[in-house]
Structure 1
Amino acid sequence: MAVMLWPVLIAVTGAFSLALGSALQERDAVRAPGRQVARTGFLLHLLRQPRWLIGTAAVVLGASLHLIALSGAPLTIIQPLGVTGLLFAIVLSAVFNRQRVGVSQIIAGVAVMGGLTGVLALFPHSSDIPVLPTPMALALAGTTIGAGLVVYLTAHWMNSGVRALLLALAGGAALGTTSGLARVITANAIGDWTRVVDWLTLLAVVTAVFGALLMQNAYRTGHFSAAYATLLITDPVVGVAIGAFLLGEGTPETLGAQAGALAFSGLAIAGTITLARARHRNPEAPGGRRRSETTARFRTR
């Protein structure tokens, strides 16, 4: 029992660290200068912000703790604990913005957690060493980045709630693709670390940076809870899909499992939409009340 307790504590700590880091990143993302959907220089600005860097370090620490926890306990135990980070994120964002956490937000957060956990539990998890040919990897990354660019270039005309969801969806897909590529890279590098120096690694880095740009713009909308929930859903689901359809890990085999996966997906999506429609929003986001009032005072001087 004591042996299993440590991975559980590590997983919960990692989930909190991920949520805290993302919430800290959001605070600088909404305050950064530029358009509502900022360009690549937006990331360079954030790299000069101490609080954003601390948040990034917390995100990296959280991801590392999650991997450590997975090495000591089954995925069916650790993955649900990792998803609890959504509730941490909702509370932390409300505290930072001096707002109350609504009951509907908590219910929606639990729905997202339950839906995602159910989907991941129903997919098989193979221990075979994955193989992904370079042409297929290029097609995968190219499709992901291409779809993300379409969202990025059209996001200016969307309202903030829809923009948060679509940017986070595209960002989560990019980071999920990065996870799929990273799985191939690390699995093949266990026996030979020189395999890390490969085209797949460069492709993973490019996709990760693009995903980070999209996610920071999603946080910039002020709908942090919805954006973070969308990331928590999209990243692992895309990773599982890559494993199922490109790496040969398979999909739920029985009709009951397939129906269950669809039902859990619907639950997670419904929770995310509820979070996006909630009034809880960072008032300093572009177009927000506090940002608008600040701009108006500046113009009257």
Structure 2
Amino acid sequence: MLPPELSDLTDELIRSPFIVIGIPLALVGAVFLSLGAQFQHRGVSTVEANLGDGSKAGLSPRQLAHLLRRPSWLLGTLMLALAIVFQLTSLGFAPLIVVQPIGVVALVITAILNARLSRIRLDRKAIGAIAMSVGGVGVFVVVAATFAVEQRIDEGQLLTVLGILGVVTAVFGVLFAVRRKSAGAMFYIVGAGVLYGFVATLAKVVINRIVNGNFEWLTVLAIVALLASAALGGYFVQTAYSVGSPDLVIAGLTVVDPLVAVLIGVIVLGEATLIPLPAAILSVVAGAIAIVGVIRLAKHHPQTHR
């Protein structure tokens, strides 16, 4: 009989073809994410220009209502819905820490699209920042796809995720109330990224529990929390579009979102139990490089100097 570690590794190797299916699905989702962000940004910018008071204090109910009449915003919303469908499907085939970081591909597409549409040339610093983000996340995904494992998610793990989400939501709620009129794009980007990280995590938890026949009241509670987090994160994203560029928004989301999801996947869900120490160190370094890339992009994005 094989030791537990070797048994888990054997199961993972047998399951690896499914990871191969999950990765391209996540890539397609990233493309839709990029296109959706561009169209939504266009709609939000138009509404902000026509109805905004210049305070940048978050979208008002009136502005949100007008977004529903903007064809560009509706098209972007449809594309984001498709991105969610592909992401959720990919989560059914691959571990959370493999799928979630792949969204960084959206950063590259969005940066190129935004530069062309805005007739702004990406400078060397911006390109270098994008390369750091993509390279860092790329290395992380390769390591995760090689060693990550999925385990049955029990009630204790789900309650831990929900408890952390409750604390995080309360913190951002207080900060939003206090700093609504002074908060910049990065506040909303970080807030949305953190919430979306929990959305992806809860989606993975729900899929895992349903597959393992654990659909009960706690799973229903997870679905409710998922929808609430998605709604609040969506509001933060729309507000970020009104005060920042789409590629800056996507840059933040494609690092903050996976970072949160990966941390939960590693610490709470145990998806990194078989990653050897050298690979774990490489993953940490790669993740740090990606984060530095996003910070640099925030500082050197061409539109911030116009």
Q: Give TM class, smaller chain.
A: 0.7 to 0.9
What amino acid sits opposite 2:181 in the alignment?
A: H
* Residue equivalent to 2:149: 126
Give the corresponding residue for 1:294.
Answer: none
Question: 2:148, 2:87 → 1: CA distance?
Answer: 17
1:259 corresponding residue in structure 2? 281
> For the residues of structure 1 that align with 2:203 and 2:22, how far apart are their CA atoms?
22
Paired amino acid for 2:238: Q
Q: Which has the higher contact order (CA 8 A, sep 6+)?
A: 2
Matched residue type, 1:20: L
Question: Equivalent residues in 2 for 1:135-154 (5 A)?
Answer: 135-153=159-177, 154=179
Letter in structure 2 aligned against 1:37:
A
What secondary structure, in the 3-state scheme, does the structure 1 residue paired with 2:303 have? coil
1:175 Cα deviation after fit = 0.7
2:46 maps to 1:31:
yes
Residues 30-78 of structure 1 deviation map (CA, whole Å, 9 limit, x = unaligned):
3333441314624444233221121011122133334556767899997
Residues 249, 7 of structure 1: CA spacing in aligned structure 2 closer, same or farther, 3 A cutoff?
closer
State which drifts further: 71-80 or 117-126: 71-80
Matching residue within 23, 27, 32 for 1:17: 32
Report matched runs for 1:49-128 at 5 Å: 49-68=70-89, 82-123=103-144, 125-128=148-151
Give me the whole-angstrom Cα distance separating, in 2, the residues matched to 1:209 and 1:7.
Answer: 25
Residue 192 of structure 2: aligned partner: 171
Is the 2:189–2:253 contact (alpha carbons within 8 Å) kept by the matching residues of 1? Answer: yes
| Structure 1, unpaired ranges of 5+ | 283-287, 290-301
Alpha-carbon shift at residue 184 of structure 1 (Å): 1.2
Structure 1 residues 242, 74: CA separation in 2 closer, same or farther (over 3 Å shift)?
closer
Contact 2:101 2:258 in 1 (8 A): no
Of 225-234 and 141-150, more deviation after overlay is shown by 141-150
Q: Evaluate the alpha carbon distance shift between residue 182 and residue 69 of structure 1 in structure 2; reply closer, same or farther with a 3 A threshold.
A: closer
- Tell me which residue corresponds to 1:47: 68
Query: Does the aligned pair in 1 maintain the 2:107–2:250 contact within 8 Å?
Result: yes
What's the TM-score, normalizing by structure 2? Answer: 0.76
Kept in 1, the 8 Å contact 2:152–2:212? The answer is no
Aligned-pair CA distance for 1:208: 0.9
Identity over aligned pairs, percent: 27
TM-score of the superposed pair, with normalisation by structure 1: 0.77
Tell me whether 226-235 or 265-274 shows the greater mean CA deviation.
265-274
Q: Please, which moves more after superposition, 76-85 or 196-205?
A: 76-85
Q: 1:39 to 1:5 in 2, by over 3 A?
A: closer
Contact 2:198 2:260 in 1 (8 A): yes
CA RMSD of aligned residues (A): 3.5
Equivalent residue runs for 1:115-264 within 5 Å: 115-123=136-144, 125-133=148-156, 135-153=159-177, 154-158=179-183, 163-190=184-211, 192=213, 195=216, 198-250=220-272, 254-264=276-286
Change (3 A) 1:98 1:132: farther
CA distance in 1, matches of 2:225, 2:20: 37
2:296 aligned with 1:274: yes
Structure in which a larger fraction of residues adopt helix: 2
Whether contact under 8 Å (2:97, 2:271) holds in the other structure is no
The one-character-per-residue Cα deviations of 1:178-232 (angstroms, maximum 9, x if unpaired) are 1111111122123559659711111111111111111221222123222211100
Q: CA shift at 1:83, angstroms?
A: 2.5
Q: Secondary structure of the equivalent of 1:126?
A: coil
Q: What is the distance in 1 between the residues matched to 2:21 and 2:205?
A: 28
Task: Tell me, yes or no, if the aligned pair for 2:150 and 2:270 is still in contact at 8 Å.
Answer: no
**AA partner of residue 269 (structure 1):** I
Partners of 2:98 and 2:118 in 1: CA distance: 32
How far the C-alpha of 1:137 sits from its partner, in A, is: 4.1
8 Å CA contact 1:30–1:220 kept in 2: the answer is yes
